[in-house]
Structure 1
Amino acid sequence: MADLYRKALEAERKSLWATCRLKGLAKDTPERQRIAELDALLREHEAKQKGGKG
């Protein structure tokens, strides 16, 4: 089954990362901070998925 939540997070992260690369944004910008938040959410989601299957 497709994991739509994960796909949505990854799509948002990819879009933000492209914007940051094009604009050359520094690490302390809201966009880069959101990328860090998305990374944390993806890790938490992956841990929940692995925990539920075990």
Structure 2
Amino acid sequence: MADLYLKNLESERRQLWATCRLKGLAKDTPERQRIAAIDEAIAAHKAKKSG
């Protein structure tokens, strides 16, 4: 079964990253901060899932 939470996080991250690259946004923008938060959530979810 697919992990929909993980897929949703990764999809949102890809979309934000594309926007940041297109606009050339700096590291301190809300979009880049959200990407960092998503990375942490993905890492925590994978660690929890693997046990």
TM-score range normalised by the length of the shorter chain = over 0.9
**What is the percentage of aligned positions where both structures have the same residue?**
71
Alignment partner, residue 8 of structure 2? 8
What residue identity is the alignment partner of 1:10? E
Deviation at 1:40, TM superposition (A): 0.1
Alignment partner, residue 45 of structure 2? 45
Deviation at 1:49, TM superposition (A): 0.4
> Structure 1 unaligned runs (5+)?
none
Alignment partner, residue 30 of structure 2? 30
Matched residues, number: 51
Q: 2:48, 2:8 → 1: CA distance?
A: 17
TM-score (norm 1): 0.94
Deviating above 4 A after TM superposition, structure 1's stretches of 4 or more consecutive aligned residues are: none
Alpha-carbon RMSD:
0.2
> Structure 2 unaligned runs (5+)?
none
Question: Which of the two has higher C-alpha Rg?
Answer: 1
| 1:20 partnered with 2:20 | yes
